Structures are given as structure tokens and as C-alpha cells.
Amino acid sequence: MGRNAARTIVTLMLTFFLISLGSIAGAKEYGEVDAKATKDMMDKENALVVFPLSPIEFEDLHIKDSVNIPMDLLADDLPKDKSRKIIFYCLGVKCVASWRAAEKAVSLGYKNVFAFREGLPGWTAAGYPAVSFEKLPDVKFKTMTTSELSGQLDNSLIVLLDVNLNDDAHKFYIDSPQRIHVPLDLLHLKVSTLGKSDAIAVLCLKGKRSPTAARYLIGQGFENVTVVEGGIQKWVMEGRPVKQGS
């Protein structure tokens, strides 16, 4: 591997590290709350509790009386009153969407912003009510390694479905004519653009959200869906090529 290629990989890995940890400069401008504080603020202070992931995940299970505003829609759909208390939550402490949404809300000028990092697991463990509108099917799906994906992109008609958020997909993406970018937040709206008989490999940032997309697609009648293990992060860490920028 040449020096320039090695330097590029190190840069990409560092960027992924920063994505995982959030901003390391300066103090946080949002608070953190647990399940009890979230419940109290909902009941007593009219706090708006926001799930910033996809409608697919929200309909599968969410905090009763919370609302769904996907990350890419926060700027347009958050309330006009920037002094209102807003709490963001997602799928647990390993899910980064709660604090990433909180940071975005602060950047948009909201003054009373909180992240409930324990999210749905912490909420249900505390015995508070959660609601399901449309459960994702409990189905098995196939997986493939990034090495297997690389080989199939070279030699087959597989469709690479990139379900990353717009911001993440614009930072790093696999430059292949077989790649289709449909953020998971929009998959329910664009599912009809995909062929149900196509071989589809689903790719996300770290391999955490692509199983949700796979379960949804299988529930919609798709016949050949595979999850790429480790996501584009693993692809990069193995030294495989990506493009940067939109």
C-alpha cells in the first residue's frame, strides 16, 4: 500500500471515530436525562419527545406520545418555539442518533435540548408505556462480508442499497454503478423503485441499521436481501476504496 493510500485510510478512520464520539471540542450545549426525568418532563412540562430515526423504526416501537422527526427533517419540522423543551431518544446507548439530533437542534438555535441516551431499552425497562403501529417481521436474513460484497460488485448484477443518512453518505460512499442511495428514513416512500426479484445488498454506516432495512424489505415481499456486515466503516478500515463528497 502506498503512502498516500495509507494516509487516506487513516484520515477516513479518524473521521469515523469522530462520527462515533461526536464533537470533542467544547462543552456540550444539551442536557442528558434518564427515563424518569423524561417521563416527568413529558407529564409536567409539555416536553416534546422526538424519535429522530426512520418511520419504519418508529412504527415498530416508540415511546407513547413521542413524535417521529427523522434526522434530515429536523430543520423543517421541529417546533417554531425554540424555547420549548425537546428530548431526543433512539434505540439505546449504542445508538448515536439521540445526541446527534440534540447537537443539530442546538445548532438550529433551540435552547432547552436534552438527549435520553438509554432510549427505548431504558424506557421499557422502567415500565413506561411504548406503542407499536406496525411491527417489523421477525425474519431471518442473509449476511455477507465486505470482501464478498467487493467480489459481487465486480462480477454480478447485485444492487448495493446504501441506507445511510444523507450527511453520512455524502462523506463516504462506494463508487459503483450498482449503488443506489435511499436513506432508511425514506425507504418506506421509495420501496417501489426497487425490484422485488433483484439481489439486494443493504449497507449502512456500521451494520447496525441495515438489518432493519432488510427485515422491512423482506416483509414487503423482496426475495433476495442480504446485509453487509460492519457497514461502510468496515469497508474503509479494510482499505477498500471510497469516494468523498456528494
Q: Mean pLDDT throughout 131-158? A: 93
* Boundaries of every domain in the chain: 29-131, 142-237
Please give the pLDDT value at position 167: 85
Please give the pLDDT value at position 183: 95
Residue closest to 225 by CA, chosen among 141, 135, 140, 136: 141
Q: Mean pLDDT throughout 111-135? A: 97
**3-state class of 192 per DSSP?**
helix
Q: How far is the C-alpha of 206 from the C-alpha of 230, rounded, in Å?
A: 5
CA–centroid distance for 29 within its chain = 22
Does the structure show a pLDDT above 80 at 11? Answer: no
Give DSSP secondary structure letters for 67-115. Answer: EE--GGGHHHHS-S-TTS-EEEE-SSTT--HHHHHHHHHHHTT-SSEEE
In the chain, alpha helices (H): 3-21, 35-45, 55-60, 74-77, 97-107, 119-125, 146-155, 166-171, 187-190, 210-219, 231-237
Residue 170: band (very low, low, confident or very high) from pLDDT cuts 50, 70, 90: confident
Beta-strand pair 113-116/67-68? unpaired
Please give the pLDDT value at position 9: 53
Beta-strand pair 130-131/62-63? antiparallel
Does the structure show a pLDDT above 90 at 193? Answer: yes
Please give the pLDDT value at position 40: 98
Does the structure show a pLDDT above 60 at 105? Answer: yes
Q: Mean pLDDT throughout 179-204? A: 95
**Which pLDDT tens digit goes with each residue over 30-66?**
999 999 999 999 999 999 999 999 999 999 999 999 9
Superfamily covering domain 142-237: Rhodanese-like domain (3.40.250.10)
Please give the pLDDT value at position 31: 97
Q: Residue 63: beta bridge partners?
A: 130
| Choice between 10 and 179, residue whose per-residue pLDDT is larger | 179
Please give the pLDDT value at position 157: 85
Does the structure show a pLDDT above 80 at 2? Answer: no
Angstrom CA distances, 102 to 76, 78, 208, 216, stand at 15, 12, 20, 27
Mean pLDDT over the full length of the chain: 90
Superfamily covering domain 29-131: Rhodanese-like domain (3.40.250.10)
**Global pTM value:** 0.84
| Choice between 181 and 18, residue whose per-residue pLDDT is larger | 181
